[in-house]
Amino acid sequence: MEVSEAIRNRRSVRRFSRQPVTFKEIGALLESARWAPTASNTQAWQFIVTMDPGEKEALISISPGIFSVPAAIIAICVDQRRVRSATERGGEGELCGLMDACFAAQNILLAAHDVGLGTCVVRSFHREPARRLLGCPEHVKPELLITVGHVEGDPPKGPKRRDLSEIAHLGSWGAPFTIEVREGAGPTGVDETERVTGGEAGPSQTGPIEAALEESVTEEAKPDGVVSRSDSLRRSLVFYLCFLASSARGLFTEPSSYGPLRLVDACSRLIDIMEREGLSSPALDRVKTIIESGKLSVTEDRQRFAELIDEIACIMLNDARE
């Protein structure tokens, strides 16, 4: 696949199938990541791959930005000691470390798309619990999570991109930059007829939250360390509390619209738990469908999102009164 094609067609995937990925496939992504540029050739990143169901379950519980269970999660961490030692820039060096993590992430996204895998970069996760969960020393900080897996259903359509004429300037602000320059002309000889336009408009696709505890035993207690149904429920609720706490922590740094999004997403996750315990209902199933189909409208149409919340509340209230 041509690089330009990968750049144009890659999309953030938030809905994954249960098809696994191989160590070889993940290794190829990491191989691409290590060739990303770094400030002063610091190479301060560390990559921690999570593929075990139980480990993914725990990491997802403190990652509000992960909406579906992927085949693997790659944590891109930055060794702050290495950054400071190599750059001698203090706070600016730490910023360079984050930028280097982003460069590595982009290489992973494009390499994954090239082999037919879906990915999504996640910044909405609880940093300190994630560091401890991943076993990182204090000077190694998780900066990004990348979910990796096979796309469930049709690939998501790309959002509309701003026209190049709106964002590119030639020489100074306001001077239009266009693709074609007349042959033999200098910097000012710009052909105004050709401009690059963005892709087709279309909504981002996200799917329902898959059961993170699917592998857990939900039958009555069994001997020899097998998880009982009550233990499984407790585990689900503890991870649900982790999600709520991590969502609250994110409010200090995330856009204000993410607050309502996290609360609505919490409703969907709670319905997941109720379903596994046999406590669901047609009304709650309908609520979950509404949430998953419309929750990302909070970033595009707040009025629509507000109406979605009103509808959800009315449905749940009627369900409780019946």
Closest CA to 205 of 121, 297, 126: 297
State whether 143 and 41 are in the same domain: yes
Residue 209 domain-assigned (yes or no): no
pLDDT tens for the chain, residues 1 to 322? 788 778 878 889 989 999 999 999 999 999 999 999 988 888 999 999 999 999 999 999 999 999 999 999 999 999 998 888 765 555 566 788 899 999 999 999 999 999 999 999 999 999 999 999 999 999 999 999 999 999 988 877 777 888 888 889 888 888 888 765 444 444 444 444 443 333 333 333 333 333 443 443 334 345 555 568 888 899 999 999 999 999 999 888 888 888 889 999 999 999 999 998 999 899 999 999 999 888 888 877 888 889 999 999 989 888 888 7
Q: How much is the pLDDT for 286? A: 92
SS3 183: coil
Q: How much is the pLDDT for 107? A: 96
Q: How much is the pLDDT for 153? A: 83
> What percent of the chain lies above the pLDDT cut of 70?
82
- DSSP β-bridge partners for residue 78: 45, 141
Closest CA to 126 of 78, 80, 75, 92: 75
In angstroms, rounded to a whole number, what is the distance separating the alpha carbons of residues 11 and 120?
Answer: 8
Radius of gyration of the chain (CA): 23
In angstroms, rounded to a whole number, what is the distance separating the alpha carbons of residues 97 and 44?
Answer: 7
- Give the type of residue at 201: A
Domain coverage including residue 14? 3-149
Query: Contact at 8 Å (CB) between 84 and 90?
Result: yes
In angstroms, rounded to a whole number, what is the distance separating the alpha carbons of residues 262 and 304?
Answer: 16
- Of 149, 175, 210, the residue at which a domain comes to its end is 149
List pLDDT tens digits, range 154-212.
877 777 888 888 889 888 888 888 765 444 444 444 444 443 333 333 333 333 333 44
State whether 144 and 234 are in the same domain: no
DSSP state of 100: H
In angstroms, rounded to a whole number, what is the distance separating the alpha carbons of residues 124 and 145?
Answer: 9
Residue 242 domain-assigned (yes or no): yes
Residue with tokens 């798309």: 113
SS3 147: strand
- Of 128, 149, 170, the residue at which a domain comes to its end is 149
Q: Across the beta sheet with 72-79, what order do the strands follow? A: 45-50, 72-79, 140-149, 118-122
Q: How much is the pLDDT for 192? A: 40
Q: How much is the pLDDT for 92? A: 63
| 231: Cα within 13 Å, side-chain hemisphere | 10
Q: How much is the pLDDT for 227? A: 62
Q: How much is the pLDDT for 20? A: 95
Residue 293 domain-assigned (yes or no): yes
Indicate the number of domains in the chain.
Answer: 2
State whether 38 and 136 are in the same domain: yes
Residue 198 domain-assigned (yes or no): no
In this structure, the chain runs to a length of: 322
State whether 271 and 141 are in the same domain: no
Mapping DSSP onto H, E and C, the string for 192-231 reads CCCCCCCCCCCCCCCCCCCCCCCCCCCCCCCCCCCCCHHH
Q: Are strands 118-122 and 140-149 parallel, antiparallel or unpaired?
A: antiparallel
State whether 238 and 121 are in the same domain: no
- Other CB atoms within 10 Å distance of the CB of residue 311: 14
- CB within 8 Å of 79: residues ≥ 6 apart: 44, 45, 46, 97, 139, 140
Write down the H helix ranges in 62-163: 80-87, 91-114, 127-133
Structure tokens at 272: 């997941």
